[in-house]
Amino acid sequence: MKDVHDPMIAAADDWRARDLAVLWHPCTQMREHPQALPLFPVARGEGAWLVGMDGRRVLDGISSWWTNLHGHAEPRIADAIARQAHTLEQVILAGFSHAPAVELAERLLALAPREAGRAPLARVFYADNGSSGVEVALKMAFHWFHNRGEHRRTRFIALTGSYHGETLGALAVGDIPLYRRVYAPLLLEALFAPSPDAFGARDAAAAEARAHAAADALAALLEAHPGEVCALILEPLLQCAGGMRMHHPAYLRRVRDLCDTHGVLLIADEIAVGFGRTGTLFACEQAPGGGIQPDLLCLSRA
């Protein structure tokens, strides 16, 4: 039973009231607070655990929205952040440079997926977050064809059940009604190919068959829009916000080959699946034949 005289519980209740007086929370129906779904005020993090103001410990099983791969309050990370803040906290990259930006870009490019016979990824563009990274990739893909004089290539292909963020461009290539329904009149019209997700498949053979059937449907979609598509964007191996729907890696090889055949750029959104979450450093590396290399790679969080 709740002890209303416990000072820790009283402090947590006070904090909930202060929060609800000034904040709207993302992806939240605010009418659920404070009764149906009381907020959990966090005092601190300890590795995989969150410690509440009332002393309760909660396992952070979603890594704070897939962000803290190395745990909360990791001493080595905290020390590195402190050292950097004492040297340089931020400077505009337009017309300026600094060591962390260059060194991180060099290390990212050295780690990026590579495919035999294809020039490696060669440049890093820093954005603010995952959605911004997707926006940048969409604009770069379009602009590349624009610079080549191919002005009909203005369409994007995404997968049903996909999620790429909540800014307008990223939302336009997502297919989760909860997020996009209200904003549909504001969004560009993307083309959606069937998801290859293996939900309900009996075994690996059935999952692979679904992947090839989805790839055949993608091929038909590309053939129906010749010279119109500038890029295809997908979450390799796992559609996270779409319900943790996984697909067979054979789909990635088919997609890479189809994009090459039709002259379409391939954008891999590894914001939620990169940096070891699927077993390899990048999910693209699990495609048959040693992995695939996207034309643009979106990374964030980790």
Please report the pLDDT score of residue 51 as a whole number: 97
Q: Is residue 193 part of a domain?
A: yes
Q: Is residue 89 part of a domain?
A: no
The Cα 130–Cα 270 span in angstroms is 9
Please report the pLDDT score of residue 203 as a whole number: 96
Instruction: Please tell me whether residue 206 adopts helix, strand or coil conformation.
Output: helix
Could you tell me if 73 and 115 lie in one domain? no
Please report the pLDDT score of residue 3 as a whole number: 60
The Cα 24–Cα 280 span in angstroms is 37
Average pLDDT estimate for 105-113:
97
Of the pLDDT bands very low, low, confident and very high (cuts 50, 70, 90), residue 5 is low
Looking at 47, 81, 115, which one is the last position of a domain?
A: 81
Could you tell me if 37 and 169 lie in one domain? no
Please report the pLDDT score of residue 127 as a whole number: 95
Q: Is residue 109 part of a domain?
A: yes
Residue 245, domain CATH: 3.40.640.10
Residue range 134-171, pLDDT digits in tens: 999 999 999 999 999 999 999 999 999 999 999 999 99
Smallest CA-to-CA distance from 236 within 172, 171, 291 is with 291
Q: Is residue 88 part of a domain?
A: no
Could you tell me if 118 and 239 lie in one domain? yes
Q: How many domains does the chain have?
A: 2
Q: Is residue 178 part of a domain?
A: yes
Look up the domain containing 13 and give its range: 7-81
Residue 27, domain CATH: 3.90.1150.10
- Beta-bridged to residue 156, according to DSSP, are 231
**Least-confidence region, from 22-36, 86-100, 107-121, 285-299:** 22-36
